[in-house]
Structure 1
Amino acid sequence: MQMSVGKTGGKVYARASKLACNLSRGQAAKGVAVLAFAVIGTILLTSSHAATPTASLEAENGTVQANACVASDTGASGSRAVKFSTVSGSCGDSTIPGLSRIPWEGGSAYWAQFSKANAAGWTNPAVFPITVFLGKPDPSYVALYKSAGVNTYAPPEHAPSIFPMTNITNNGMFAIPDLEWTPSEVGSAAGAVGWFLSDECDMGMPPECSGGDAGAYAQQKAWADQAHRYNDGRFTMANFGNGILRTFWSSNTNPATGNTYMDDQVRVVDTSSADKYTYTSPDVGTIIDGVHDAPDWPNGVPVARAYSYGWQADQMRRFQDPNHLRPVWTFIESAQPYLVESGAGIITPEQMEGAVWSALIHEARGISYFDHNSNNDAFPDSQATKNPNYCQGGYAIPNCANVNCTGSTTGACTRSTIKCASTDTGCGDSGGLCVISDVHCFTAAVDEQVKNLAPVLNTQSYYNTTEVRNGYTYYRYRFNNGTDTMLKSYNGSAYIFAGLGMKCNNTSCTSGTVDTTGSKTFTLPTGVNGTTVEVVGEGRTLTVNGSRQFTDVFANEYTHHVYKISL
């Protein structure tokens, strides 16, 4: 079993609906008549000095299907409103006719139900959670995380007498403190938007979760109940580990619910994440495809690839209540994530970028960085591979800033600066991957692109196919050209998010196919009529030919592109 630890404030962390809105247009018209009748009745009641009448008819809090969706609307109650359209599931000012939308939790509008998150601006589609796990709330670190594009501590290290919560929240960042923080230590800080309940309770960690599957679930629920008793408008979050593999961690059935204990652990929180560091931990690769053989991973498919992070987002959804979907986030390592096993490595800039975008293509609603780094002398007993040319700092993003492989200062943090220059003689490895020391710089470059695309990422995706994997249905948009894709529309344009992935060859996922590198040709969906393709963030444009196609190159397994085409 893979295990990693992080320390904070002396504590060791083991890494370990009110209304259903299934309305047809005819039903909506009837609803208007009923509402008009209710308004007249209210006027009569009020004018007759009857007791003050109150009513709550908040359709946006129900399950919205068919010709409606929940959209952000600052002028509406709770900053959310139901919008109706002749196109199924359309929100915003642009749709692609004839395509269906995936089931989802509501994007940024999801957060309106939590008063703290709502007040802090999380319902704004321009906000996309980019978090750091157990980051130090030292003001200098806060500034460096913020300049790297991180916007949330989830959770922050607990040292309130030295680094109070206001170090974070008064400096334009958000926090999701764990329960080691007391309500008085958190205070009324508007930027403290949630409570982080646990890390890998599905694996029996921390010790409070060691009472087997039933005991671990009971503890998770107890923590959730504790946070709910605060009644402070903050959501709850938990991170999960090996339970997402569906092998033996938290896999037993809860007789009280008929679900697995993993299902129940995930369903007691408002948002959840997963952390399997496939790029850097050989042990993780072994437990996914090898010793424990996760049933949803095709046999023999390489694990240490960008697509494995998207797979983790997929896995987290398996445990959710399909009638009450909630956001899923994905953890990604920023260096060597406190690993001690032999052969453990360090993630490269291109790999980290590929992992982030694989997670997003698979509908992750947040990115979490594990920033603690064991590539230093603080881990003398570690068998992990060390790289003296790489970041040595314990907190990779703030400690490894403004230097490249040769030790000289770098320029602005753009996508071009995260590539190895020919003069950086200490940068390369035998595979030609970049091992740049400026973790801060390339994190900023990746996060900037995520931030710029947040309003697009916070829209509801389209699908043209469903895929069943061991009894669970996934909704995908496939171009059938050997790529892994997500299709969205925003502000008059279609957006194609594309990378390289892997697919199960059958419903039991006993074998799979890996997308190969090289040229890929995309045929525009019906309703997308642009003749020029902007490759977002790369300074390139492509031409759509007479067959409504364009071609681009995916040079490496971690390559990703975002295409913007007018509707």
Structure 2
Amino acid sequence: MPAKRPIRNRRAPLRSARSASRYLVALFSAIVVLILPTSGSTPDWAGESTLLTLPRVPWEGGPAYWKQFPAADAAGWSSPDFFPIVAWYNGISSDGEAQYDKALGINTYIGMDASTPYSLFADNGMYWIGPALNDTFTSGSKNWVGAFLDDEVDGRYTPEEGRAHLRELSHAAGKDGRFSYANFTQSVLSKDMRPADAEAYLNDFTDVVSVDMYWYTVPFCSAVPYRENYLAAIPQNGCRSSASYGTALTMLRERDAADGRLQPLWQFVEDLNGGPGDQPFTANITPAQLEGAVMSSLIGEARGIVYFNQSLSGPCQGGSVLRLSQVEQDFCGAGQASAVGRIDALIKQLAPVLNTQSFAYSFGPNLRTMFKVSGDSAYIFSMMGAGTSAGQRSFQLPAGVTGRAVEVVNENRTIPVGAGGAFSDSFGSEADYHVYRVRL
């Protein structure tokens, strides 16, 4: 894994003091959506009662989750229009730099030079997760929403030492109205780690959690012999694929759910190269792969995206990929930066949809899909099934969705729906995705 600079944060909220509160918020939200339209939705269509009988995908409560953290709530994180898109180590030293990042869809930062004034966040509507960088950060700094406990503790300590370390950070944090977040390595998804140790890491200290595993660009997928021992199988012939990012979310949710409480799961995606600097270069993620990895993460129910913004090996390196794309003409990662902007624009456009609870429904074989309803429309986020070949796919709409045309979002085309509620579309590669909107 990349050698990322750890941040030791002494201001993370105490998890044990709030676990009951988080559970009640999630439980209340889960009950409400079974009775009322989901957040951001005001359906008024004939199929409402039919669709509401479909099972729902378990979730932590959506935008309502953030209401239990006064800092995040006051900053607008509980709005259905907000979706966290985070840059890992992308320092800002001017309004122009912050606005460039904002144009690419970034709204939050983790990792920053200690001299960065708080005003750069406040003046540009950007958010900070981490410690107080300097004395311009105060308890009333509205755009300072969260505390970052530490990075990859499971890869740097024994389980006993790691838990003690995180416990110390949590206890030292106090109660300041900010949520606590930590990132872990893929070890917590592996059967090589005792389930009790992995579950303790993911459930005992945080309010938001993520795992970093850069499937497209790390040497792991090319290892000979190949050895994977994850909670869900990732065969070598499908390891370097967008599907692996979604599978990682599925495994992370399994670990997170072990204590009966759910928290938002965020996903790391490399915006250029995720391979360790001390190992042979494998590849850079392509622009199409980057978008596919993000979409697969969303379909896997990611509630936030974190871009690993450093490239530590290969011919195109840099400590801040997005910043280099701003200041260097003909930058070798310009295509990837543009892809960040495209997929983030789609996330922002569909945030009110993404922030609703998904229905559990299978549209057909050889597909990975997420099904949501918002307003007067149903939305299908779709990609090819893991390990399947490119080509045509058939979709069967559930009862209650009676639209006779499917709009392919941002593709300027529609697809007719047959009398039986079926339609088909093609996928050119494993990283391809389509988002369909069907009027209800």
In which range does the TM-score fall when normalised by the shorter chain? 0.7 to 0.9
Q: Distance in 1 between matches of 2:207 and 2:178?
A: 10
Q: Deviations over 1:315-372 (max 9, x none)?
A: 2112224521110000000112363322421111100000000000010000000111
Shift of 1:124: 0.4
In the TM superposition, residue 184 of structure 1 has moved relative to its aligned partner by 6.9
Corresponding residue of 1:356: 294
Q: Name the aligned partner's letter for residue 222 of structure 1.
A: E
SS in 2 for 1:481: coil
Q: CA deviation at 1:460?
A: 0.4
* Cα-to-partner distance string for 1:183-242 (whole Å, 9 max, x where unaligned): 8745421011100111111112xxxxx3x1111011112212222x1x210000001113
Partner of 1:148: 104
Determine which of 15, 24, 27 is the counterpart of 1:63. 27
Q: Which residue of structure 2 aligns with residue 246 of structure 1?
A: 190
**Residue 200 of structure 1 aligns to which amino acid in structure 2?**
E
The separation in 2 between residues aligned to 1:59 and 1:194, in whole angstroms, is 19
CA distance, structure 2, for counterparts of residue 559 and residue 402 of structure 1:
30
**Residue 320 of structure 1 aligns to a residue in which SS?**
helix
Q: 1:424 is matched with which residue?
A: none
Cα displacement (A) at 1:125: 0.5
Please give the root-mean-square deviation of Cα atoms over the aligned residues, in Å: 3.0
Q: Does 2:367 correspond to 1:483?
A: yes
Please list the CA deviations of residues 481-535 of structure 1 after superposition, one character each: whole Å capped at 9, or x if unmatched: 3110010000011100001232xxxxxxxxxxx2221011111110000011110
Deviation at 1:299, TM superposition (A): 4.1
Distance, in Å, in 1 between the alignment partners of 2:29 and 2:270 is 37
> 2:82 corresponds to which letter in structure 1?
V
The 5 Å alignment of 1:109-258 reads: 109-139=64-94, 140-153=96-109, 155-160=110-115, 163-177=116-130, 179=131, 181=133, 185-204=137-156, 210=157, 212-227=158-173, 229=174, 231-248=175-192, 251-252=193-194
The counterpart of 1:440, out of the listed 337, 341, 349, is 337
**Residues 519-565 of structure 1: per-residue CA shift (max 9 Å, x gap):** 11111110000011110111111111223211111000000000000
- Structure 2 counterpart of 1:264, from 182, 188, 200: 200
Quote the residue 1:330 is aligned against: 267
TM-score by length of 2: 0.87
- 2:393–2:426 CA contact under 8 A, matched in 1: yes
What is the DSSP-based 3-state SS (H/G/I as helix, E as strand, rest coil) of the residue aligned with 2:238?
coil
Shift of 1:159: 1.5
* Residue in structure 2 matched with residue 500 of structure 1 by the alignment: 384
Which ranges of structure 2 fall in alignment gaps of 5 or more residues? Answer: 9-15
Mean CA deviation greater in 96-105 or 324-333: 96-105
2:320 is the counterpart of 1:395: yes
Could you tell me which residue of structure 1 aligns to residue 413 of structure 2? 540
Residues matched between the structures, number: 420
**Cα separation, 2, equivalents of 1:108 and 1:180:** 25
Q: Is the 2:75–2:145 contact (alpha carbons within 8 Å) kept by the matching residues of 1?
A: yes
Compare relative contact order (CA 8 Å, sep 6+) and give the higher one, 1 or 2. Answer: 2
Deviation of 1:310 after TM superposition, in Å, equals 0.7
- Map of 1:505 onto structure 2: none
Amino acid at match of 2:125: G
Structure 1: runs of 5+ lacking an equivalent: 10-16, 19-56, 71-82, 205-209, 253-258, 375-383, 409-434, 464-476, 503-513
Partner-residue secondary structure (3-state), 1:319? helix
SS at match of 1:272: strand
| 1:284 Cα deviation from its structure 2 partner | 5.5
Question: Could you tell me how far 1:451 is from its partner in structure 2?
Answer: 0.4
Alignment-derived partner of residue 282 in structure 2: 344
Q: Secondary structure at the match of 2:256?
A: coil
Q: Secondary structure at the match of 2:124?
A: coil
Q: Which structure has the highest helix share of the two?
A: 2
Determine the C-alpha separation between the residues in 2 that align with 1:448 and 1:129.
12
Match for residue 5 of structure 1?
4
Match of 1:324, as an amino acid? R
CA contact (8 A) 1:274 1:331 kept: yes
Q: 2:56 aligns with which of 74, 78, 101?
A: 101
Could you report, residue by residue, the CA deviation over 1:105-136 in whole angstroms, capped at 9, with x for unpaired residues?
01111100000000000110000000011221
The residue identity in structure 1 corresponding to 2:213 is K
Larger radius of gyration: 1
